[in-house]
């Protein structure tokens, strides 16, 4: 087993094509309605939702120095 030279095996053309496509994806990318919508959702909506959630729950739970049986909600 140790004497085999695995680098001399022939490469699968589909794997080479996939690697080439992912390497050069930036050359062929275009904004269309679907990609623009996804970009807007991931760049604007998701961080805004996390921000609103963090603002609403700020200070609600205190997880430091709690023992078994203590409640974590402060109000």
**Cα angle 20-18-28, degrees, rounded to a multiple of 5:** 55
- Please tell me the predicted confidence (pLDDT) of residue 6: 64
Q: Do 43 and 56 touch, CB atoms closer than 8 A?
A: no
pTM of the model: 0.55
What tokens does 7 get? 């680098």
**Measured distance between the N- and C-terminal CA atoms of the chain, rounded to whole angstroms:** 65
- Please tell me the predicted confidence (pLDDT) of residue 8: 64
Whether the predicted pLDDT of 2 surpasses 90? no
């Amino acid at each position: 087993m140790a004497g085999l030279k695995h680098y001399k095996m022939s490469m699968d053309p589909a794997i080479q094509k996939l690697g080439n496509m992912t390497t050069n994806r930036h050359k062929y990318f275009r904004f269309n309605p679907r990609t623009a919508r996804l970009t807007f959702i991931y760049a604007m909506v998701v961080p805004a939702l996390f921000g609103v959630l963090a603002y609403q729950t700020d200070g609600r739970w205190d997880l430091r120095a709690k023992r078994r049986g203590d409640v974590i909600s402060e109000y």
